[in-house]
Amino acid sequence: MKTQKGATLVGSLLAITILATTLVSVLELQTSIIRSKFFLQYDNTANLLVAEGLEIVRAIYANNGTVANGTYHIDYTTSSLPTLTSNRCSVNITTNTLNNANQCDIDINSTGAYALSTATEGNRIFHRFVNIETSSTPTIPKVTSIVVVRNPKGGNLRVYKATIELYKIN
């Protein structure tokens, strides 16, 4: 007598388990993509803030004719580089940490502009500082504008930066 054998319950359950595992993996991948999209949505703004940092220093240099070495926190209202103080905001790329973040918080103010935040809370998305180093010969200031984007829900920081050299135009 010929016996035709179908799938057993164990076989079917195994198939479902494999299917479910595959679906869960796909969902986890999607969730991870969405998480990384957090940074993508701020890409354009962060790049513009980097460029703005350079432009602010360039304008100060064009007006004053000189800029002192150091790390500064500036925004579009800055007319001259502020006096340096200790414990200023900095990013450690190796340890992925942002130190004294509240000192360089950039946030939208009441007039709708991204500006240095005066509030004490240091848990904002954008942080910006510029670093100026001047070579001795020839004396050309090199400006690096750094914007750090931080996900308030935790995770890695994303750092955007650009560097220019300031030349005097006669």
Can residue 14 be called a binding residue for another protein (CB under 8 A)?
Answer: no
Taking phi over 0 as left and psi of -120 to 50 as alpha, with beta for the rest, 133 belongs to beta
SS (H, E, C) 100-162: CHHHCEEEECCCCCEEECCCCCCCCCEEEEEEEEECCCCCCEEEEEEEEEECCCCCCEEEEEE
Backbone angles phi, psi at 27, to 5 degrees: -65, -40
- Among 25, 36, 69, 79, the residue binding another protein under the rule CB under 8 A is 79
**CA-based angle 68:70:159, to the nearest 5?**
135
Give the number of residues in contact with another protein, rule: CB under 8 A: 43
Binding mask 42-71 for another protein (x = CB under 8 A): -xxx--xx-xx--xx-xxx-xx--------
Distances (CA, A) of 11 to 2, 14, 17: 22, 5, 10
- Among 65, 112, 138, 154, the residue binding another protein under the rule CB under 8 A is 112
Among residue numbers 137 through 166, which ones bind another protein (CB under 8 A)? none
Of 9-17, 83-91, 137-145, 155-163, the window that binds another protein (rule: CB under 8 A) is 9-17
Q: Are strands 105-108 and 126-134 parallel, antiparallel or unpaired?
A: antiparallel
Minimum separation from the CB atom of position 90 to another protein (A): 23
For another protein, the closer of residues 59 and 140 by Cβ is 59
Specify the residue for token string 């340890």: 95
Task: Write out the residues near another protein by the rule CB under 8 A.
Answer: 1, 3-7, 9, 12-13, 16, 19-20, 23-24, 27, 30-31, 34, 37, 41, 43-45, 48-49, 51-52, 55-56, 58-60, 62-63, 76-77, 79-80, 108, 111-114
